[in-house]
Amino acid sequence: MSYWVDRDKTVSEQGPLAVPAADTEAPTDRRLHPLSWLFVLLTQLRSMMFPLVAFVWFGRGDSWLLYGLIGAFAFALYALIYSLSFRYRIGERELLVRSGIFSRTERHVPYARIQNIVQKRNLLHRLFHVTELRLESAGGSKPEAVMNVITLTAAAELERVLKRRGGEARVGAEQEINEVTPWHALEVGDLLRLGLINDRGWVAVGALVAILWQQPGGYNWNSKSGANDWNPMRELYSLVEQQFGTWSNALSGWVTKGFSLLALGLLIVVLIKLLSMAMAVLSFYRFRLSGDETRLSTETGLLTRHVASARRDKIQRLIIGESWLARRLGRRWLSCEVAAGAQVEADAEHKALRLRWLAPVGTGAQIESIVARVMPGVDFANLQWKPLHPRAWLRMFKTSVFWWSLLLLPASILVSVWVLLPGAAIMLWAWLHARGWSRFAGYACDGEFIAYRAGWWHRQWVIARIDKGQTVSISHSPFDRRRGMHTVSVDTAGAALNSFALSVPYLPIDEARALAEVLRVRMSVEPDPISSHG
Amino acid sequence: MNTADSVEVVASEVATAAMVTAEVVTAPVQVREFTPHGQLLRMWIWGTLSFVVPIVLISFLVSVFAGMWFVAVIASVTGSSIVAFVTVYGRAYLDRFRCRLLADGLWVDRGVWWRSETFVPRARVQHTEVQQGPIARRYGMASLKVFTAGASHGEIEIDGLIHTDAVWLRDELLGRQGQDGV
């Protein structure tokens, strides 16, 4: 086809890296899987789900159904045309993607620019042995290419090509071995343990409540008005109320009532833990982390398999976490953050698919060995941790006393003096928290890496290469200045807003300034061009 | 800033590893310092007056016609304290404001109560933006936005610069842009 711009050819003819013609087979156009239209249609329908349901629900009647059918037909036609028109070509240095019938889009994606590769295979994909594949670069407003869907062999070939022609890797024997033996793998036992030590179940419960809340009349489930609308939330509430009423009447005395409340609480905790285990199995069944010289990839999931891979030099930060229960069982978890364009960043769906968990659960030694492999030069077990300001805990405690007093003192006058009793308990808790938190908190900086840790019952660590920092800043409030403390923060790309910030608070002023200066000087050195392909 | 000597001494304590020694941690080389536009404080005060004065006038009308004298008193007291606050705070902010182009990046120190010093290395600047509103244009004032790939401080805005300074700074920051550093 004449309209293909064969950029590769001119590059390989003129460029110093020209490859002998005998080695390269003529690139051919490739199509999506013949069943692609089905998956495109399903993706379309899923984003249209709510309007469509509302359409069918509210517009009861034959004519509405007819319009609905016409709409669905239009979608199917679009899906068919889209998937038939989609072509891609594996060139020497770049991938050529063309889509569209009326307005054609032709996209040249240099292999060296591709940072994140993501695959999604739900049950339907797995039934037909196909996969949805996305390629992301650091910039741009959307993924460079979305292939919905190609066969598993085609996907494997594409990944192989990306590895080989990414501009920095050679296929070696060592790499093949690495692919066979994963760096980290989880069995069902690990997953049950993971469910036990984290509380993802609460997230599920929260989501469920939110959904039930949105049912008609969900906001006033307590009132008896609009009783003809069936509402699960109200049903649940009245059921609990009824049951509890019967219990309360049947049980005499505070002791039995107390015990039954305790039993109810225990039951809820057990249910949450079971739910957490189920969710852990669902999302991390047969989890595998593997890596080679240039890329890290993970594969995970029970029903829907997610395969994500990212360039190792584009990993921005490592975050390690540990709950109280995890500490008892000697387990931790490790996640990473990879960079992507600002717009892609905003897309929650893409974000969820991207490489994140390097070890959803693992022993301390396992986590240490993964950290050492992902960030060569970091000896996590022997980092030279330095404490924060000796009076950091006092500063922290006084802050909580201030805010709680602002709430509790007016309440004790307006409501009841007895408010001060739980208030005292809160103060005690705040004191314990401040002591525990600052005893553990600290930072480590060796000129190449910066690490920060903090927490009390729930502990977190964050590690980053200093040259991955985008900005470094010192900040302080009037309270900080009074106590002679400053905060030093390093901003990196790809950090989620709710993730553990690399921001070291309550440092003695001289130490904070010296640390910031070390970071500033290290960051100002232009990144090594070999390890950073723009 | 502290004296360079004491910073250097503590820095060598912080950087225990051999990689960063005192010789690497040198005092920053300053290229140029930027001061805010001379009319900035006046613009802030006029901006405040432009909504305080009408409200006070309306409150006077209300007190005259509805006979509620205390409305005018409250409005005048509140209004004048807002203007006084903006004047005092604005002056303190501008007195403390420091913006310097160093050999290796841009350094901004600002804030009155909550203060922050931010450093953006040249190599991390993704793009920049010079913005001018209609009033700012009249006074030759502009704000400069510096964007990095960072997630939480990805956008650093420096308000109230002299327009030619902002343009110069923009060109300077873009001119020597290197790798993206992501």
Q: From the CA of B112, how many Å to the nearest CA of chain A? A: 9
Inter-chain contact A514–B13, Cβ cutoff 8 Å? yes
| Predicted pLDDT of residue A26 | 60
Residue A88 near residue A106 (C-beta atoms within 8 A): no
Determine the average pLDDT of the residues in A116-139: 86
Confidence of residue A341 (pLDDT cuts 50, 70, 90): low
The pLDDT tens digits for A414-447 are 888 888 888 899 999 999 999 999 999 999 998 8
Inter-chain contact B17–A501, Cβ cutoff 8 Å? no
Helix H, strand E, coil C: the string for A242-262 is: HHHHHHHHHCCCHHHHHHHHH
What is the distance between the alpha carbons of residues A503 and A474, in angstroms, rounded to a whole number?
Answer: 9
Confidence of residue A346 (pLDDT cuts 50, 70, 90): low
Q: What is the ipTM of this complex?
A: 0.79
Inter-chain contact B105–A520, Cβ cutoff 8 Å? yes
Inter-chain contact A518–B2, Cβ cutoff 8 Å? no
| Predicted pLDDT of residue A231 | 61
The pLDDT tens digits for A357-375 are 999 999 999 999 999 999 9
What is the distance between the alpha carbons of residues A444 and A452, in angstroms, rounded to a whole number?
Answer: 6
Residue in B with minimal Cα distance to A500? B152
Confidence of residue A23 (pLDDT cuts 50, 70, 90): very low
Residue in A with minimal Cα distance to B110? A475
**Start-to-end CA span in chain A (Å):** 32
- Name chain A contacts of B150, Cβ cutoff 8 Å: 470-471, 491-493, 495
| Predicted pLDDT of residue A159 | 83
Return the minimum-mean-pLDDT range out of A48-62, A308-322, B60-74, B98-112: A48-62
The percentage of chain A sitting over the pLDDT mark of 90, rounded to a whole number, equals: 31
Inter-chain contact A510–B17, Cβ cutoff 8 Å? no
| Predicted pLDDT of residue A291 | 86
Nearest residue, CB atoms, A448 vs list B19, B123, B156 = B19
For chain A, the average pLDDT equals 80
Determine the average pLDDT of the residues in A39-45: 81
- Name chain A contacts of B149, Cβ cutoff 8 Å: 138, 339, 342, 470, 493
- Name chain B contacts of A494, Cβ cutoff 8 Å: 151, 182
- For residue A438, give the nearest of A473, A374, A485 by alpha carbon: A485
What residues contact residue A440 under an 8 Å CB cut-off, 6+ apart? A453, A454, A455, A456, A459
Highest mean pLDDT pick, A103-107, A245-249, A475-479, B19-23: A475-479
The pLDDT tens digits for A84-95 are 888 898 888 888
| Predicted pLDDT of residue B2 | 43
Alpha helices, DSSP H only, in chain B?
A: 4-14, 40-66, 69-96, 134-139, 163-175
**B34-51 residues labelled b (16+ CB within 10 A) or e (exposed):** bebbebbbebbbeebeee
What is the distance between the alpha carbons of residues B58 and B54, in angstroms, rounded to a whole number?
Answer: 6
Highest mean pLDDT pick, A37-51, A85-99, A470-484: A470-484
Q: From the CA of B45, how many Å to the nearest CA of chain A? A: 25
The pLDDT tens digits for A398-417 are 999 999 999 888 888 888 88
Inter-chain contact A518–B7, Cβ cutoff 8 Å? no
Cis peptide bond upstream of A149, omega within 30: yes
What is the distance between the alpha carbons of residues A92 and A173, in angstroms, rounded to a whole number?
Answer: 23
Return the minimum-mean-pLDDT range out of A212-216, A310-314, A453-457: A212-216
